[in-house]
Amino acid sequence: MKLLPLILLFWLADIAHGADLPTQFELEYTLKGTIGRGKASQTFSIEQREGVRHYQIKSEVRASGLLSLVKSGSIVLHSTGTIHQGNLQPVLFTDQRGGKPVREVAFDWQQQRIVYRRKGREMIERLPNNTQDKLSFMYHFMFAGVPQTAFSIYETDHRRLQSARYAVSEEILATPIGKFASIVLTRQPTPDDPRPKKLWLAKDYFLLPLRIISMESSGIKVDQLISSIRYNPDGHMQRLVTHAADR
């Protein structure tokens, strides 16, 4: 797949450790659910402050049609934290759905505890090393690299912490902006959580999340597919364009 910004090619050798990354990515997705459609967007940014690299991720999902009756309003997720020893280390994750109160998850790495805040209550659990939240998980591999074989990792949403095991495979993914060699992470179902989850990462382009298949607790299956990628290799936002996208 040939990209117009050829400078991209010089970054690939350092991709697994997040070296020389652009400091901002803006991704747009088409969204299909079992009962409707919508759009989604994600912004990933990096900022250096006092010798520490900080990251911020924002995700917004906007449903339409019948799906909007179940997913009323936008779903807005935020993840903020630091980039520490080749890993994303979340500090705060928030989940807000429509006009409902914000649900928060705070990560206290010094005290090794994770704090869930919702409906005016707090729940505290032990925080395992390298735990990722729902958003940071998708960008974590940009810095840590992807294991070549199946692996386990702790991840959390706004409700609970769990250990998940993922199978690793590769395939060519066709998208509206071209075909990408991708690494596919497939979560293995468990009796506690049989819901499917699958993530496609762009093998040659910063391991960006290209496609996400997941299932809500309500049983609605959601499929997000990349439709636009913008990034700032030289301080100015550019759109990643392929020849396939121009046809």
Tens digit of pLDDT per residue, the chain (247 long)?
Answer: 444 333 333 333 344 445 578 999 999 999 887 656 889 999 999 999 999 999 999 999 887 654 554 455 688 999 999 998 889 999 999 999 878 889 999 999 999 999 999 888 999 999 999 999 999 999 999 999 999 999 999 999 988 899 999 999 999 999 999 999 999 999 998 887 778 899 999 999 999 999 999 887 666 788 999 999 999 876 677 887 554 433 3
What pLDDT does 146 receive? 94
Tell me 115's DSSP state: E
Integer Cα distance of 172 and 1 in angstroms: 11
How many C-beta atoms surround the C-beta of residue 8 within 10 A?
Answer: 17
Integer Cα distance of 143 and 165 in angstroms: 19
Amino acid at site 63? A
What pLDDT does 72 receive? 55
For residue 66, the number of C-alpha atoms closer than 13 Å in the C-beta half-sphere is 6
What pLDDT does 245 receive? 37
The pair of three-digit structure tokens given for residue 156, joined into one six-digit string: 């959390």
The pair of three-digit structure tokens given for residue 132, joined into one six-digit string: 């990722």
